Amino acid sequence: MTTRSMRNLAGALVLWATVAPSLWPAAAGAQDQARRALTYAARQDRINAWTVGLAAGRIEGAPLRLASEMARVVDDGDNLHVLPIVTRGPTENLNSLLYLRGVDLAIVNSDSLDEYKASFPEIEYHVKYLLSLFPSELHVFVRPEIQSLQDLAGKKVNFNTLGTAAAYSGPLIFSRLGINIEKAFIPHQLALQQMRKGEIAAVIFITTKPVDAFIRGQWEPGFKFLPVTYDLKFEDYYLPASLEPSDYPALVKPGERVATLAVPTVLATYNWPANSNRYQRVARFTDNLFGRIDRLQVPGFDPNWKTINLGATVPGLGRFSAAQEWLDRRGRQAERKQ
């Protein structure tokens, strides 16, 4: 190599030694940024893979509280994250489950399926239940001059605000009874005031008993609950129930009981294909909920969790296969211990 060539090489090395350090941080920064982006995307995928959307109801309603309590118990960090969703109400939750992206589970009233019979006759194949929650008893509370359900024909009856269980199930039940009434949809507290004045003949509550308004309220003699007979026309979605003196000591006399109906409140899911991620999410939710149900039966949670029967069936619906498999496993384990 000539002297001139050696000088050129030395100059090039000096130049590289000067410039290269300024390039290394940029190259290293780009690599770190790419690595961070990959890590962010991977974490995003991981979290979303095990996040479950649960359509609950209105912010003031009991279903949203139940959904929040379930979320607290089944939560498992990145392995399971439940998002309770505020919706238009339990009667709209079935629609959310069927059509709204991101909704895997919903708290629904069993008779909400009735709305889909004509347009969606195969709905029982698409919707399954995990758990029968608490029955919501029908309360038909009337003024003293009303002696029977037929006396309500043509009279004003309140069903609470639109979107509530009473606003949906109440008119449906009266339609099945064949009684035409003047329907009102105002808040129950206002309706009870109007009822005292004789402006409304009856109020219809559909909720888990006992109802505070009937326990704490002072009612003149003659205000009462009317009985509703459970028969063939209610067997598809409803259950027989009763209102007892222990529920309402001021309104139901000792030794008497008022026959009525109950609308099952159901934790439902879409019938996801067994090999899908959506199915796996709900299956993991089911395992955590069923396996930790005792954690919901302690002070600090709704006391009605103590009445839960994991094996209870729901009229008109089939059980989600992962839930049935959990029950079957528990049954086999119990047999082996005997």
**Nearest-angstrom CA–CA distance, 99 and 296:** 30
b/e sequence 311-323, b meaning 16+ C-beta within 10 Å: eeebbbbebbebb
Structure tokens at 321: 């296969």
b/e sequence 80-95, b meaning 16+ C-beta within 10 Å: bbbebbebebbbbbbb
What DSSP state is assigned to residue 164? S
Identify the pLDDT of residue 316.
Answer: 79
**Nearest-angstrom CA–CA distance, 172 and 187:** 19
Q: What percent of the chain has pLDDT over 90?
A: 59
Does residue 114 surpass a pLDDT of 90?
A: no
**Nearest-angstrom CA–CA distance, 280 and 99:** 19
Mean pLDDT of 124-133: 92
Mean pLDDT of 70-89: 92
Name the pLDDT band for 119 (thresholds 50, 70, 90). confident
Q: Does residue 187 sit in helix, strand or coil?
A: coil
Residue where the block lists tokens 């109802």 = 211
Instruction: Indicate the pTM of the whole model.
Output: 0.77
Identify the pLDDT of residue 334.
Answer: 78
136-169 pLDDT, tens digit per residue, is 899 999 999 999 999 999 999 999 988 788 988 9
Identify the pLDDT of residue 16.
Answer: 47
Nearest residue to 301 via CA among 65, 59, 80, 134: 65
Question: How much is the mean pLDDT over the chain?
Answer: 87
Distances (CA, A) of 217 to 109, 161, 212, 250, 338: 28, 20, 8, 9, 51
Question: Which sign does the torsion angle of CA 68, 73, 78, 82 carry?
Answer: negative
Domains of the chain: residue spans and CATH = 50-337 (3.40.190.10)
Identify the pLDDT of residue 41.
Answer: 77
Residue where the block lists tokens 């949809």 = 185
Nearest residue to 167 via CA among 193, 143, 185: 185
